[in-house]
Structure 1
Amino acid sequence: MSPLQPKSAATNEGLDKVHEKDARSLESSVGLEDPVIDGRVWRKLDYRILPVMTMFYLLSFLDRTNVGNARVAGLQTDLGMSNKQYSIALTVTYVPYILSELPSNLMLKALGPNLVLPTMLTLWGIVCALQGIVNSYSGLLACRFFIGLLEGGVFPGLVLYLSYFYPRYKMNTRITLFFSSASLSGAFSGILAYGIIQMDGVGNRPGWSWIFILEGLFTFLFGLSSYFFFPRSLDKTWFLTSEEKEYVKAQLLNDTHKDEEVFSWREVIEAFKLPQLWLLGLAFFFAATILFGLAYFSPSIIQGLGYTAADAQLMSVPPYAVACVVALISSLISDRYRCRGSVCIVSVLFCAIGFAMFLGSQSKHVQYGSLFFSVTGAYMAAPTQATWNANNASPQTRRATVIAMGFILANSGGILATWLLGTLSPAPRYTKATITLLVFSLLAALFCALNIFYLRVQNAKKAERRRVMNREDEEPGLGNHSAWYIYNL
């Protein structure tokens, strides 16, 4: 239960900054701005929705990556696994994870996020706890498969859900606030693991098993309670007045145009034709390989520097704590100056600096210090890329497809990461893996730059169309192809 309170404090501090910024800078909305309503409505949404979303993603990331802490605490040795078998166990998580992302996102609108997301959380909490009682490699594989199947739709689902309530230029800070829980989970997983492994021998179970049991139990209980927290849609929010709901609808309509009323396979196909999906999707793949490699292996990397297993758990905390703060600052900059692409490029260049330091130095202090760059860069890039991807597709079904495909490509990088460190590149130096991740950092920067160039060209063409035609003359249903839909750079 200990992750909840530190996260809550961090979230409240971040939200205060968001509200100050929102009060100063309103979205342009055809004469519909009302400073009094504006400040009140976003504050209500932020304090009712974001803390729950934050806990969802914190628990998702924690329950998926705590296997790295369990490995250091003796999981691999007790189950008699080779490095190759450990990589297979991680890969088994990502196959159903990837396959479930698009169907899950397409189901949210039909079944309602208020039912789909809490159900996934409750069920994977049970499976996570069951990992603590497995006594064979095959049992672990089964658990990892179902964790991937149940967790796959969480991040794309939360990003899509957020777009139901916020205009595009208010999203990056909000996504970063709940994604910051991933970096916090990296920090708290080390602290929690250090404390939990002291239970070694309790109930005749090793310390690593209690990591899964206790963290899975908390996820299960929070999942049950979350059925009461999630409004299905803007119209179903019980904490907004009718006037406030209409105000938000006006902001969303002005920002993204009217969404289609029903699901459309035509819009799914249209999403696959968008060049920005594939340009940013490749950057997603490269950056996610970095992020998941660090998430799964940072305790092992630190242990390889000569620290004990217990010290490695604790020393994994500071890089993730720094990453959380820097990611929040970068998201405020991204929303304030509407510069998603530039923030993405800077973040992956941070990763490149970190890997260059790790590769080029023999000092364990420098190598440990390199994690502050690589971890920070990885956790800056992910929420900004997710926001940028969601910002440049409309209507809703097209956006849902684009969001899901972005995460499918990202989690394909997760599969590569599970093999890259340890199996294909042995500890403690991980030389081949470090070189690969350094190259991936530069490639991610390149594809982000290409996406900026493409979107800038498209915006110039749209400006020319707006110059020679009226908005009323444009055919309806164009979504992001509309001349009045300005792509976010």
Structure 2
Amino acid sequence: MSTAASDSHSLKAKDVLDGTESHRGSTTTEGALTLSVSQEDMELERRAKLKLDLTLLPVMTMFYLLSFLDRANIGNARIAGLQEALKLSDRQYQICVTILYVPYICAELPANLLLRRIGPNILMPAILTMWGLVVTFQGFVSNYTGLLVVRFVLGMLEGPMFPGIVLYLSGFYTRRELSMRIAYFFSAASLSGAFSGLLAAAISRMEGLGGKDGWAWIFILEGLFTVSFGIASFWIVPRTLQQAMFLTQVEKDALKRRLERDRPLINTIDKFSFKEIFQSLRSPQVIILSIVFFMGGTVLFGQALFLPSIIRHLGFTPYKSQMLSVGPFVVGFIVSIGAAWYSDRYNRRGVPFIAISLLSITGWSIFLGLKGKYALYGALYLIVPGVYATSPVTCAWMANNSEPYYRRASSIAIGFIATNSGGILSTWRFPSKEGPKFTKTAIMMLVFSCLMVVFGSINMLYLDWQNKQKQRLRHKILAPYTTEKEPDGGVRAWAELGDRHPDFKYTL
């Protein structure tokens, strides 16, 4: 079995690289070679994958929950009194929120390229521990300058986490399974929004304890918890699949074989080259999805950072605003899981992405068209799921259609750079004076949601056209690489072409 998987590096992989390996059958086809997968092997793979889900995913979920919580809790601190206590104008507050994204964006691509060299078992726990300390110090700032410096450092440390997790998981799961696994950990963003509201409401009651304001305790307690988990995670994050202590060697070998069936060169092409970055930058599917990521990031971070403030402007008390921010995020979590399940089950990204985006369009239309605080609050139950649930699908879509490793690492990072660039825009779109409806911003968000559907559709049509073109021009594409011994171009063709190889079928 392992010999067959190794030999497959030089063979066609039409069905395998489509990510449509049968879960009911017992064989997978790679060109002329049929790889037999016995029922016993399939059961072994299923048990091993379940172990991954129960051990690796909870850790990654906690990483991202803490990342989102520690980045967005400034919104909860704001309505708990931070802005008044530090005597910040709306403009100064917005600058403090914005400044985080500048180093955040700059850190994403270099960190993704360094992830394998440093090791995720070192890089991820280290940055988690360090940013926990920074969040804790945030509770002791006493002026605008101090908050500005702390937010800048926090952005530099948090930037590598999200793209790093997506890249990391792509080395443990097949392309078809990735959307659901990203949904599991990204749903932590929805949960963190809900959890942040509940936690902030409780912690803000500590007003005056130890001479500290309630908003300061939000940062201190949440930061200390992050530090504790960061230190513990040095012992629980495996560097690679082969170093996962919770798997037996037989289980590791089984998972390695199924990854090789999904991506034949997963362990072959491992050398960094700037060429792969440029190949990613010029890929139309990466460019199209980066536009989607930018608009989605604008809508998403607008909700993450300002939802408590939006609810507060509707006329609710600060405490009730914290509590009312929980509901939309809980619905966002449920929709995220459901959409990702559908996406993986049917191996489709574009259809669920478009369907979810229609929720956002409906929500913003209601928000603009109706009056009354309860109607406007109700619209948030469509707006929040309508953007949060698209993220796992689009992340998997980007990761699915870029190969080999360093091109995939670059594409994922480029997508998140676009997302967080949208985050910068969102920080300037909710000035207090435009509440409670923030009409100009709501119109922009509605337009962005509509454009996301348009560009998502364009990406589907382009990828479908590319798949047909690659099959039609297969011999012409492979001609520069073919030899008498390797009529299909072998490893050299895969190394040079990557996802442009005619036997690599793009996921729609």
User: What's the TM-score once normalised by structure 1's chain length?
Assistant: 0.93
Question: Cα–Cα, structure 1 residues 202 and 22, in superposed 2: closer, same or farther, change >3 Å?
Answer: farther
Residue 488 (structure 2) pairs with residue 473 (structure 1): yes
Which of 222, 229, 232 is the matching residue for 2:236?
229
Q: Distance in 2 between matches of 1:219 and 1:227?
A: 13
* CA deviation profile, 1:444-467 (whole Å, cap 9, x unmatched): 111111110110001111232458
Shift of 1:257: 2.6
Larger Rg: 2
Question: Cα–Cα, structure 1 residues 205 and 454, in superposed 2: closer, same or farther, change >3 Å?
Answer: same
Map 1:36-435 to 2 at 5 A.
36-259=43-266, 260-422=269-431, 426-435=434-443
Shift of 1:32: 3.2
Residue aligned with 1:420, SS = coil
Q: Distance in 2 between matches of 1:313 and 1:420?
A: 21
Question: Cα–Cα, structure 1 residues 81 and 168, in superposed 2: closer, same or farther, change >3 Å?
Answer: same
Counterpart of 2:160 in structure 1: which amino acid? Answer: G
Question: Cα–Cα, structure 1 residues 234 and 311, in superposed 2: closer, same or farther, change >3 Å?
Answer: same
Q: Distance in 2 between matches of 1:317 and 1:233?
A: 36
Partner of 2:501 in structure 1?
482
Worse-matched range after superposition: 180-189 or 241-250: 241-250
Counterpart of 1:453 in structure 2: which amino acid? Answer: L
Residue aligned with 2:316, SS = coil
Question: Cα–Cα, structure 1 residues 136 and 45, in superposed 2: closer, same or farther, change >3 Å?
Answer: same
Counterpart of 1:32 in structure 2: which amino acid? Answer: V
Shift of 1:243: 2.7
* CA deviation profile, 1:388-412 (whole Å, cap 9, x unmatched): 1011001000000000000000100
Structure 2's unaligned 5+ residue stretches are: 1-20, 30-34
Worse-matched range after superposition: 173-182 or 32-41: 32-41
Residue aligned with 1:166, SS = coil
Question: Cα–Cα, structure 1 residues 173 and 27, in superposed 2: closer, same or farther, change >3 Å?
Answer: farther
Q: Distance in 2 between matches of 1:324 and 1:273?
A: 34
Counterpart of 2:434 in structure 1: which amino acid? Answer: P
Q: Distance in 1 between matches of 2:379 and 2:330?
A: 14
Which of 9, 20, 31 is the matching residue for 2:36?
31
Q: Distance in 1 between matches of 2:253 and 2:235?
A: 24
Conservation of the 8 A alpha-carbon contact between 1:22 and 1:39: no
Shift of 1:26: 8.7
Shift of 1:421: 1.2
Counterpart of 1:140 in structure 2: which amino acid? Answer: L
Shift of 1:256: 2.1
Map 1:12-27 to 2 at 5 A.
none
Q: Distance in 1 between matches of 2:25 and 2:76?
A: 43
* CA deviation profile, 1:296-329 (whole Å, cap 9, x unmatched): 1110111111100000000000110011011101
Q: Distance in 1 between matches of 2:25 and 2:315?
A: 50
Worse-matched range after superposition: 253-262 or 121-130: 253-262
Shift of 1:291: 0.4
Shift of 1:227: 0.3
Question: Cα–Cα, structure 1 residues 391 and 319, in superposed 2: closer, same or farther, change >3 Å?
Answer: same
Q: Distance in 2 between matches of 1:298 and 1:261?
A: 43
Residue aligned with 1:133, SS = coil
Conservation of the 8 A alpha-carbon contact between 2:26 and 2:37: no
Residue aligned with 2:153, SS = helix
* CA deviation profile, 1:8-33 (whole Å, cap 9, x unmatched): xxxxxxxxxxxxx9976899463235
Partner of 2:456 in structure 1?
448
Q: Distance in 2 between matches of 1:325 and 1:27?
A: 35
* CA deviation profile, 1:187-229 (whole Å, cap 9, x unmatched): 0100001100000000111100000000000000000000001
Structure 1's unaligned 5+ residue stretches are: 1-20
Identity between Structure 1 and Structure 2 (%):
46
Shift of 1:110: 0.6
Partner of 1:461 in structure 2?
469
* CA deviation profile, 1:414-457 (whole Å, cap 9, x unmatched): 0000001116x721120000000000001111111111011000
Shift of 1:264: 2.0
* CA deviation profile, 1:158-209 (whole Å, cap 9, x unmatched): 0000011111001100000000000000001000011000000001111000
Alpha-carbon RMSD across the aligned residues, in angstroms, is: 1.9
Question: Cα–Cα, structure 1 residues 135 and 25, in superposed 2: closer, same or farther, change >3 Å?
Answer: farther
Residue aligned with 1:229, SS = coil
Question: Cα–Cα, structure 1 residues 151 and 386, in superposed 2: closer, same or farther, change >3 Å?
Answer: same
